Every structure is written in C-alpha cells, then in structure tokens.
C-alpha cells in the first residue's frame, strides 16, 4: 500500500520508498517464490511490512523491520509473526487488525 498521490502517473511499478505494506497470496505454484525470493527482495527494498497470506498452510505471516545486517549476509526481516487463519493479524505499520475469520485453505 502506498499513500494516494505519492506517485504520479499510471503504471504498475511503484518505488519501494513509498510502499508501506505488500500483501501476497500464495498459490500452490508460488510457495517458494513468495516465502523466500520475494521476502528477500522486499527486505532489500526496505518495505516496512510484508504480509504473506498462505492458503496452502492456512497461515498469515507478517514480516516487519527489514534489515540488511543479518547473519546470512542477505537482506531479511527481523520480525516474523505467524497467525493461523481465523486469528486476527495486527498490522502495526497501518494501525489496523486484519480479520482472517473467513480465510480458507486450498482443497
């Protein structure tokens, strides 16, 4: 999410500094890409929060506090909070709580 008016003109590319939260919904084919590749990419872009909605596992994973100073030497998030579908997910950077009561897993 980004502040309305922060970017001029149409387009799908939004500069990382104006993004507060990225939300990804995992598909059966994108599990590794979302949980690993994009996690590192968004941490490197210093996106403050990355929320992964994972219907494969039935969880939401909220990653916050991006850092490039990790033991692995790769960018990553310092904080990871995992919540099961049905449990509320507090998203502090936006001062809201996501209701996941109606989220469902893939069959």
Domain boundaries, the chain: 16-85
pTM for this model (two decimals): 0.86
User: In 1-107, which ranges are continuous DSSP H helix?
Assistant: 31-32, 39-44
Summarize pLDDT for 7-35 with one digit per residue, the tens: 565 656 777 888 999 999 999 999 999 99
What is the average pLDDT value for the chain, to the nearest integer? 90
State pLDDT tens for residues 89-105. 999 999 999 999 999 99
CA 38/CA 14 separation, integer angstroms: 15
Measured in whole angstroms, the distance separating CA 63 from the mean position of its chain's CA atoms is 6
* Parallel, antiparallel or unpaired: strands 96-98 and 89-91: antiparallel
């Amino acid at each position: 999410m980004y502040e309305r008016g922060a970017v001029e003109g149409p387009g799908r590319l939004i500069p990382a500094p104006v993004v507060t939260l990225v939300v990804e919904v995992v598909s059966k084919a994108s599990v590794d890409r979302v949980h690993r590749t994009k996690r590192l990419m968004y941490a490197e872009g210093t996106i403050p929060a990355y929320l992964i909605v994972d219907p494969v596992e039935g969880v939401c994973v909220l990653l916050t506090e991006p850092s490039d100073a990790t033991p692995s030497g790769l960018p990553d998030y310092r904080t990871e909070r995992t919540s099961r579908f049905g449990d509320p997910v507090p998203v502090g950077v936006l001062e809201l709580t996501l209701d996941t009561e109606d989220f469902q897993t893939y069959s």
